[in-house]
Homo-oligomer: A and B are copies of this chain.
Amino acid sequence: MSDTNKLHLHIPAPKARPGDAVTFDHMAIPAAGKLRRPEIKAPEDQLRDLPYDLIRVLDDEGNAVGPWNPSLSADHLRRGLRAMLLTRLFDDQLFRAHRQGKTTFFMKSTGEEAIGAAQSLALGASDMCFPTYRVVSWLMARDYPVVDLVNQIYSNASDPLKGRQLPILYSARDYGFYSLSGNVGTRIGHAVGWAMASAYKQDDKIAIGYIGEGSTAEGDFHEALTFASVYRAPVLLCITNNQWAISSFQGIAGGEATTFAAKAIAYGIPGLRVDGNDFLAVHAATIWAAQRAKANLGATLIELFTYRAAGHSTSDDPTKYRPATEAQAWPLGDPLERLKQHLILIGEWSEERHEKLTVELTEVVKSACREAEAIGTFGKSRPGTREMFEGVYKDPDWRITEQRRELGV
């Protein structure tokens, strides 16, 4: 073997940086409706092509086509649209609130609203979601009180998390929404454990866990999938591939070499790759995986192919590392516009009704903000200082009580 040719270190780079022309031509987008929908009982070795394809239901005109078409009722679709629109308006409002100094931090899920909304409505009330910070639409779809989101973001006296947690790192057990935290990747394994517990109890509840494509590089992801595969846990493991991890494109997480859905093959479980901006496709894939889980056929990995249209967070300026126009160029469009287009096409929605809904939901957000601001924005109001010392343990030990006394609260 020839030792003469020298090695070199490959460093992945995105197709375009600021100043470059934006193109997604390298990205093959299969036509909607083409991909088959296998039996949920189909053995894994007959599903290994799925991770390289893309489950799409809505075509460019807004028609729902193909075997994955879930044929949802117009009411269901309108509920989804409402949750997505509410999320969009909420994000814009609270992003402004940050600029106005009402909170220290905020994160948007712009362009990814279909995911949480569709899956929240597809799964049962007693199923449990282990979210990332980009699926607030899960809560919107379940009518979580918007004011409580704002109270948490403002850490005011009514903050359900008692001032202990960074803005948007919600927890809402009664809405099937597990506690968020600032560190990424660690909770996907909790979803698997929760699902194992449900199976252990011969219950019928299933779990859904989310992780960003960048965070799939964490060992936690692999250990979670290994457990899910070994014990056939009734869980849906979702990778929200929004192309970016702060400033790092998905190639830094392995996206140059293959798809994220293909990681399923390593564990002998099905991997679905889904148009994450297609509400119907996301719903259909979720139902397919949920049926498998409930039939004791085990876990499914779902890559939700989407695009992070906004900055990573209020601390981020994406124009520093990607072309400003990249978001508009995203070939899979805007999930909100696409569902709206579909509803209008099937005669179940109109520009007028959309306008009315926008006005209505804008008021929902505004009044929630007003209500929360009446209690107080960040720093103006907050839970009693004593809350800092509560809940470290179920019962405090002498350290906590002494220190609380030292601080005089």
Contact = CB atoms under 8 A, between A and B. Distances in A.
Interface of A: 1-12, 44-45, 48, 52, 124, 196, 198-200, 202-204, 206, 217-223, 226, 229-232, 234, 251-254, 256-258, 262-269, 287, 290-291, 294-296, 298
A218 B224 CA distance: 10
Contacts of A1: 287, 290-291, 294
Given A1-B291, A199-B9, A253 B230 contact: yes
A321 to B, nearest CB: 18
A226 B217 contact: yes
Nearest to A290: B1
A1 B206 CA distance: 12
Contacts of A251: 230
Given A10-B199, A12-B231, A258-B268, 7 more contacts: A1-B291, A7-B203, A10-B231, A219-B221, A254-B268, A262-B268, A266-B266
Contacts of A196: 9
Contact of A263 (B258, B266, B291, B295): B266
B254 A3 contact: no
A222 B264 CA distance: 13
Nearest to A123: B1
Contacts of A262: 265-266, 268
14 contacts: A1-B294, A3-B124, A8-B199, A10-B231, A10-B296, A10-B298, A217-B222, A217-B223, A219-B219, A219-B222, A256-B268, A257-B268, A262-B265, A264-B266
A192 to B, nearest CB: 12
Contact of A226 (B4, B223, B253, B268): B253
Contacts of A218: 219, 223
B231 A257 contact: no
A52 B48 CA distance: 12
Nearest to A205: B7
A4 B204 CA distance: 7
